[in-house]
Structures are given as structure tokens and as C-alpha cells.
Amino acid sequence: MNTRGVSASPPGYFDTASTEPLHPAAREVLLAAADEGWADPARLYGAARRARMLLDNAREIVAAVIGARPDEVTFTGSGTQAIQLGMLGTAAGRRRQGDGPRVVAVSAVEHSAVLQTAAHLERHDGTTTREVGVGPDGRVDPAAFTKAIDDDTVLACLQAANHEVGTVQPVDEIETGDVPLLVDAAQAAGRAPLPRSWSVLTASAHKWGGPAGVGVLAVRRNVRWRSPLPDDERGGGRAPGFENVPGALAAAAALSARWEEAEAVAARQRELVDHIRARVPELLDDVDVVGHPTLRLPHLVTFSCLYVDGEALVTELDRAGFAISSGSSCTSSTLRPSHVLAAMGALTHGNVRVSLTRDATRVDVDRLLAAVVDVVTRLRAGLEAL
């Protein structure tokens, strides 16, 4: 464990599904790569060749973990940008000036970046979006998703696992035929084995303990992809602008370190998540524990407490020293409840998403649970008879 304190997980932090603190391995590489990899990787002198080598090295490491070839991997400015470029570029590769297949098939529980990009394609490219629902556990039925893909489908998008409830999706059971499948692996990468049957895969480094500002876009060699942006030779012609070499290398180092420890960390986290899932309904009445009981990511668990305002819950837990996120409408800028919880038929108010750091302990979790019980009990004061 890190002894300098700089990268050790901040106490009370239970929101790694939003972002993971920098992995100790990434911190060292980030500093070293800032000194070694500052030059322009497109130039032909020594320092430039070194930067190019580091970038290639980063691509190889990431490719190995996500199950791609190095030349299929591009670093983008963020996970969201990877999703946008992945979806728009794949759609552009299959459509010519409004001709061609026009349906974008998505699950109802995709990240908003996927749903917003599908909406953008509707507005600007005349596509229609076909949303496939999920069961109460948040999982797509593979047969139903397969059925939603036909000759008229330009692109299908299914996440590796859900970012709000942790449910793993049956990506490798989907039959897409010739239709490209984009898999958003932002929440799963570095934490769980990834599906293999993708055409395009996207991820985000800060979710696995890499630095912010680094996304991953992987496009299989046999997939037609055409840039939706003005021509630019950077990023292999896929992502615009000067490459963030130190960021990419630190992201790769974090992913590699994270993947090496993934099984051990996941075993610990699963135990803690099972503990939370079992304990919360024992400690509190009227709680909806959300997400698939077993087919789930190791670090993430969600529940909703009846009669409790989500914003008050987040604020009171913050006051008690705990950072959690919520899918309740009053905590979102749009004042709409989480589309994920709504699609699952889950209770949307009083929602708590707990996501564990890699070194979270039983003591940390029990402290959080005690605080949740205290806060929920206080917020429910006067409603005991309900």
C-alpha cells in the first residue's frame, strides 16, 4: 500500500464509479513521462521518437488488456469523446449522405453520452433510435437485443456493464450479423473481464485510476469508420489534436497495474458489496436494493430508500464525511430521475450509489452503513407510521 499518502484513497470516498483516485503506479509514470514524453510524437528527431515510442508503448499495454490490436487503439480527450467519435464515425462509415441503414439500437440503460450521441444522430443524420428495455435487474435480454438489430440498423450500442447499478450486460450473447456493435466499457475496464464481440470499444482512464483527460477508442480493423470531424493526422486520424503522451502512458500504467490486481481487488470488493446488499435491508425498512444479485461489477452497489429526498441524503452524508452519488432527480441538473433506475422500474427517490475504492475495508463500509442508517432515520422522522 502507498505510504506517502498522496495516492491512498481519501477516507469516506465511496464514488469511484464517478472517478477513481489516481493509482500509485500511474502517479510515478505520469511524472516520469512528463519529463520523457513531452516532444511532438509526429516529428523525426530523438526526443520526438522517444515520445512516439512511449505513445506506442501505451497503446500496446491498453490493447493487451482490452483484447485489441495496438493499431486498433486511439487515445481520445475523454471517455465521452471516445463514445462520440466511435458512434458518429461508425455511422458515417456505413451511411452516405443520408442513404443506408438508419436505425441506431441502444439499451435503455446506456450512459447518457451514448443516448445523447444517438439523439444527435437523429437530429443531424435522420436516424431513429430503437431503445431496448431491461429487466428489473437492469439486464438486457440478449434475444430481445438481437431482435432489435436488423438490415436497417446502422449501429448497435450495448454497455459492458451499467454505471449506476453495476449489472453486467450479456454482450457476447448478442448476435449482430454485419451490424457494428459499440461497447461502452467505461465502468468495467480494469475491473472485470471485458466482452470480446465488439466492433468498437470505448473506455475512460480516470475510471480505472488513470489521469483525467484520457479516453480510449478501439475500432476493429474490419470496421468501416469515417471521421465525423475535419481531417487531422493526429491520433491515427481518429482523434484530433496533439497527443497527450504522458497522460496516455500513465493511463496505460494504471490499467496494467489495476488489471494485475483486478482479481484480488474484485474478490475483496464482492465480499463488501454482498455485505452491503444483505445488511441494508436488515438495517432499514422500505429499501429497494437495485441491480443484478450476481452478474454485477465488483465495486458498485445501489439502493433506494422510500420517503427520503435524494439531495438531502447526499448532503447529509457529505456532512458526516462520506462521498456518495445518487440517481435521484433532485440531484441531477435536469431534475429528471435517473433513466437507468426508471427503465428498471426501481424506486428513483432516496437513491444511493456506493462504489468502492480498491483498498476499501469492512471497517470503512460499516462506518458508511452506520451513517446511512442514521441519516435515513433522521430524514424519515415523523414518517414512522407509514
283 contributes a contact to another protein by CB under 8 A: no
Q: Which stretch binds another protein (CB under 8 A): 92-100, 146-154, 189-197, 344-352?
A: 344-352
80 contributes a contact to another protein by CB under 8 A: no
74 contributes a contact to another protein by CB under 8 A: no
Q: Taking a C-beta distance cutoff of 8 angstroms, is the pair 249, 54 a contact? A: yes
171 contributes a contact to another protein by CB under 8 A: no
What minimum distance in Å lies between the beta carbon of 217 and another protein? 33
345 contributes a contact to another protein by CB under 8 A: yes
How far apart are alpha carbons 317 and 303 in whole angstroms? 15
What minimum distance in Å lies between the beta carbon of 341 and another protein? 7
Q: How many CB atoms lie within 10 A of CB 3?
A: 7
Displacement of CA 351 from its chain's centroid (Å): 19
Q: What is the dihedral of CA 223, 259, 19, 138, to 10 degrees?
A: 70
Pick from 36, 60, 274, 286: which binds another protein (CB under 8 A)?
286
Burial 279-299 (b: 16+ CB within 10 A, else e): ebeeebebbbbbbbeeebbbb
Pick from 341, 352, 371, 372: which binds another protein (CB under 8 A)?
341
What minimum distance in Å lies between the beta carbon of 331 and another protein? 11
Q: Which residues contact 32 (CB under 8 A, 6 or more apart)?
A: none
Pick from 27, 258, 296, 349: which binds another protein (CB under 8 A)?
349
**Ranges within 308-327 binding another protein (CB under 8 A):** 308-309
**Short-list 59, 171, 23, 155, CA closest to 102:** 155
331 contributes a contact to another protein by CB under 8 A: no
Q: Going residue by residue from 99 to 118, which x/- string records binding to another protein, judged by CB under 8 A?
A: --------------------
How far apart are alpha carbons 152 and 179 in whole angstroms? 9
Provide the CB-side half-sphere exposure for 236 (13 A, CA): 20
328 contributes a contact to another protein by CB under 8 A: yes
Q: Which stretch binds another protein (CB under 8 A): 191-199, 254-262, 330-338, 360-368?
A: 330-338
* Residue 215 DSSP symbol: E
Pick from 159, 244, 348, 357: which binds another protein (CB under 8 A)?
348
How far apart are alpha carbons 118 and 12 in whole angstroms? 36
If the CB atoms of residues 136 and 321 are measured against another protein, the closer one turns out to be 136
How far apart are alpha carbons 198 and 156 in whole angstroms? 10
**Ranges within 365-384 binding another protein (CB under 8 A):** 383
Q: Taking a C-beta distance cutoff of 8 angstroms, is the pair 202, 186 a contact? A: yes
Displacement of CA 345 from its chain's centroid (Å): 22
If the CB atoms of residues 169 and 348 are measured against another protein, the closer one turns out to be 348
How far apart are alpha carbons 97 and 260 in whole angstroms? 46
346 contributes a contact to another protein by CB under 8 A: yes
If the CB atoms of residues 363 and 386 are measured against another protein, the closer one turns out to be 386
Contacting positions for another protein (CB under 8 A): 286, 288, 304, 306-309, 328-330, 335-337, 341-342, 345-350, 383, 386
